[in-house]
Structure 1
């Protein structure tokens, strides 16, 4: 019932036919750029991932209020990305991040970046589909797989026809509905939480939560740049309007995530089992479960359709560093790329049949992917340095990627790679914090070394890569 209502509501606002400027840049029928609030609401809902909602409640359940604050800090990414891209657009005149990378660091560097964010987009498909489908049945059950198929095919259908324009319009409606549902949920939960009080956690849990807060504060310097779902929306309206939209989006999405963390606090206060985004609504019965189903469908669906849109733009425009005018007839290329990512992006869901349920934990997938791209912080935030060219990119990009891959192997294969002495803070995220801080320092030093010692070599490399 909830799934049917979600599909009908979304299909109602979806355009049936669009031009290239609408499919890739979200323009209206008259050719006007999307307005401040339309971009803000779209950016906000696309960052209220289904997996982020689950993460927020899990972290507040584990670490108390510091867990809620820690995950909310990630939403300062809107401020970092908004300000950085504002200056890239106003001072450099760039039409996208790949365009900037080609002009500043060379086409090879731009393609390395696109491959990296391609993996990010694949991760968004399976992780959000999984969280949404778990509300329809246990992992591996018939109802679970039915939800996977229906959610994927429906989202494919309207992303295929409408692209970015469909994503923006459905996002606006989804934002209004999801905040209304959250308001109803909080109206039910807050009186009970007020009578119990915010649950206390012991010192070790509180300190572990503070460590996670520090990790989030470090990762927001690089994290937003490897998410095209976010950054694509930074180039579809005027720079000043975009900046306003991103500030509004940060408040909307960060506020939503913090308020949703109350679910975790409620579960802890009442001694409910772990996984509060499931156990709390289950404790209230069918109506509450249906509202949570709606929240997860709205948040996950908005992220997946935006992921499909970004995949289309990456393949049809960004890979060739082309503008809308040059590639106006390449909608078909984008649509075929969407179809490919539908298949490849959902393959990790089959890991349930691999005996030991391989497949990354959802929170771990977020923190590890943030570690892999730590080198993007100097690449974008320090791009104004005149000597920063190809060498700077490589000396920042590769150390971060290598450290992130090693950390992923260590986490998922349960093998020791990094010494415990690297850990900073306490708890399960202490080693992640140490690797991120020391790794960011290495990446930044490498970037400066490339800018100061090898600028001429870099100029030749750019010229060669752009002549290919």
Structure 2
């Protein structure tokens, strides 16, 4: 099966290279403009949104959560894709209501230099973690960590994706996203048909885990419903695509991406649910799927992971170059510097893979917790229209969220038991709720103190 998978990877890579015209302008490389200077259309933007957010680690997470916690685990992960709905509202407010050209511009206006420093820090970690996680998934598909096949797969995949990403920047990413999404949908439909035809997609299998509000699946669903308010704002891939087209096209692209993504993730996650219902004691998910489905469905399963990893990587590299050159202004925003930035981020991601630290893989999950410092920003400063929130409220909430993310990281990895012997998702719910509530209190107090100062100044 590895040989067939390698052929599939080669085919997708060749198509991606053929669809990646060399960027001849900064507009094509950083803004996704066509050679004629045109903005991306609705279908292109929808498919790009979906395929860049359904990345390899997401598919595996949805299936693994279904394997262990039933359909409720899969639905919990699918709930994170409601971020497209909150993301649409965030973009509409930042860009079309307040008139800012980027998230950084909005934060700089409200909180000055510290506003952008904190945000860029979180975004930078998010980008590196996405590169790392998707490359790692590809390596696992081809061999045991540290083996020659694993090392070759990791390096070859990274080089292929980097080459076509460097050629055309964001414009190439959008074009390849369209092709990759079409392939993804074709494979997903084929795999779903095969699973149904196998007779394993029964109601008993899908509902093998009963609903209990205290179980990890429903608990994670509550966590997702708390984190979707801030999660999209810290994801540069999603936010970047909110500044490419006109208002109507942008709004529709987010709304359609939401329901398409939820369906895709739920479908893929049900494969894990079916495996969990028929797993024997100590049997791994992939082994169960191979046993009950056979070689061809498992090949399609792995091909979907490859497609999603490649589509996410090229978009992540494009956002990395934009972050450094356009948003942070560390280098001049030209094609040469954009390509050098892509290579640097890819190198950092590869170094993380070769460190071989399992905790680094777990660290990907904490980004949603760290992003929650943005929830009060959205509620008070963006949607609430308050321009008088002091910087201390912003910084205090940022430090609170980082502390919460770090606490979840060490608790979920088993390094500490500061929050007791509860399941890690129960701890995550407690941490997320605490950050949201206390962060909003910080912003409320900051707004109150500024209002009092203004009244005193008027009285004087």
Q: Same fold (TM over 0.5)?
A: yes
Aligned mate of 1:63, from 69, 73, 88: 69
Contact 2:95 / 2:101 at 8 angstroms: preserved in 1? yes
Distance 2:212 2:375 in 1: 31
Alpha carbons of 1:456 and 1:138: their partners in 2 closer, same or farther (altered >3 Å)? farther
Q: Counterpart in 1 of 2:342?
A: 338
Query: Cα offset for 1:400?
Result: 1.2
Q: Counterpart in 2 of 1:118?
A: 124
Alpha carbons of 1:406 and 1:428: their partners in 2 closer, same or farther (altered >3 Å)? closer
Aligned mate of 1:9, from 9, 15, 31: 15
Distance 1:282 1:317 in 2: 50
Query: Cα offset for 1:274?
Result: 5.2
Distance 1:279 1:140 in 2: 24
Contact 1:64 / 1:201 at 8 angstroms: preserved in 2? yes
Residue by residue over 1:128-167, the C-alpha shift from the partner in whole angstroms, topping out at 9 and shown as x without a partner, is 1111221111222111111100110011101111111011
Aligned mate of 1:246, from 254, 269, 277: 254
SS in 1 for 2:372: coil
Q: Which runs of 5+ in 2 are unaligned?
A: 1-6, 455-460
Cα RMSD over matched residues? 2.3
Query: Cα offset for 1:452?
Result: 2.4
Whether 2:147 is the aligned partner of 1:141: answer yes
Moved more, 342-351 or 384-393: 384-393
Moved more, 438-447 or 104-113: 104-113
Whether 2:195 is the aligned partner of 1:189: answer yes
Q: Counterpart in 1 of 2:3?
A: none
SS in 2 for 1:349: helix
Alpha carbons of 1:300 and 1:457: their partners in 2 closer, same or farther (altered >3 Å)? farther
Residue by residue over 1:181-231, the C-alpha shift from the partner in whole angstroms, topping out at 9 and shown as x without a partner, is 010111011242245642422566973211111011111111111110111
Whether 2:309 is the aligned partner of 1:305: answer no
Residue by residue over 1:329-355, the C-alpha shift from the partner in whole angstroms, topping out at 9 and shown as x without a partner, is x22222211111111112222233xxx
Aligned mate of 1:216, from 224, 237, 241: 224
Contact 2:41 / 2:245 at 8 angstroms: preserved in 1? yes
Alpha carbons of 1:29 and 1:297: their partners in 2 closer, same or farther (altered >3 Å)? same
Distance 1:321 1:345 in 2: 20
Query: Cα offset for 1:296?
Result: 1.0
SS in 2 for 1:30: coil
Alignment of 1:264-413 (within 5 A): 264-271=272-279, 275-276=284-285, 279-281=288-290, 283-320=292-329, 330-352=334-356, 357-361=357-361, 364-383=362-381, 384-412=385-413
Query: Cα offset for 1:59?
Result: 0.7
Whether 2:432 is the aligned partner of 1:432: answer no
Alpha carbons of 1:331 and 1:402: their partners in 2 closer, same or farther (altered >3 Å)? same
Distance 1:236 1:339 in 2: 24
SS in 2 for 1:382: helix
Contact 1:395 / 1:447 at 8 angstroms: preserved in 2? no
Whether 2:135 is the aligned partner of 1:100: answer no
Residue by residue over 1:386-405, the C-alpha shift from the partner in whole angstroms, topping out at 9 and shown as x without a partner, is 32242332232221112212
Q: Counterpart in 2 of 1:452?
A: 448
Query: Cα offset for 1:271?
Result: 2.1
Moved more, 88-97 or 188-197: 188-197
Distance 1:56 1:319 in 2: 34
Distance 1:428 1:102 in 2: 35
Contact 2:278 / 2:288 at 8 angstroms: preserved in 1? no
Q: Counterpart in 1 of 2:208?
A: 200
Whether 2:38 is the aligned partner of 1:32: answer yes
Contact 1:59 / 1:67 at 8 angstroms: preserved in 2? yes
Query: Cα offset for 1:106?
Result: 0.7
Alpha carbons of 1:457 and 1:260: their partners in 2 closer, same or farther (altered >3 Å)? farther
Distance 1:278 1:51 in 2: 18
Contact 1:23 / 1:163 at 8 angstroms: preserved in 2? yes
Q: Counterpart in 2 of 1:461?
A: none
Residue by residue over 1:82-130, the C-alpha shift from the partner in whole angstroms, topping out at 9 and shown as x without a partner, is 1121011112111110111112211232022101110111100111111
